[in-house]
Amino acid sequence: MTELLGHDTSNVVGEPCYQVLCGTDVFGNRFCNPCCPVINMARIQAAIRRFEMHVSHVNRRPMCTEVAILSVGPWNLAGATIVHILRPVGRNSDSHNGTEPAGGRAPFRSSGDGDGDGADVLTSRERQLLALFAQGCGSRTIAERLDLSVLTVRNHGQNILRKLKVHNRVEAVALAQRARLI
């Protein structure tokens, strides 16, 4: 949070996301607001695909980011926790064409034709681990449940991240939920 937006994490935890991100679409129209379309989609459990959004650095410098959303927990009176996963997109401010991020790497895409979600490349054991990641289990817990070594669990985890072309377990779970793998 500090590196990307200039905010100290302790100052923004618990604050409404629209006040922290101040997001706009690629045309400069306000996206983040109290009637957030992402929250409305999460409420009805609709798939939320990754999207680009400009966010404001604390010095008000706009920055193009790719946003992935993960809804954690069941909806109740307090709502669910909505996790925003932001990744800077190295674009010039005048080149918003909605295609791949700079560097030619499209996160959340499988190898092959670029249209898959990675489901076709995961083994059944990797899918099993992905479901346990979604439950919040750590490597040691998964190793105990599946009678595997912690090293084997970590190796499977790295294979999952590589195959799904994501950087961490949270992104892997978000992709898996969107693709209905888990």
Which of helix, strand or coil describes residue 32? Answer: coil
Q: Residue 57 CA to chain centroid, in angstroms?
A: 19
According to the model, what pLDDT value does residue 94 have? Answer: 38
**Alpha helices by DSSP H, 22-168:** 37-43, 124-134, 139-146, 150-164
In a structure prediction context, what are the per-residue pLDDT tens digits for the chain, which is 182 residues long? 566 778 787 777 778 888 888 888 767 788 888 888 887 777 777 777 888 888 887 776 778 888 888 777 666 555 667 788 888 886 544 333 333 333 333 333 333 333 445 556 888 899 999 999 988 888 999 999 999 999 999 999 999 988 888 888 888 888 888 877 77
Q: Which residue has the tokens 């609709």?
A: 46
The domains located in the chain, with CATH, are: 2-88 (no CATH), 119-178 (1.10.10.10)
According to the model, what pLDDT value does residue 116 have? Answer: 47
Q: Which pTM was predicted?
A: 0.46
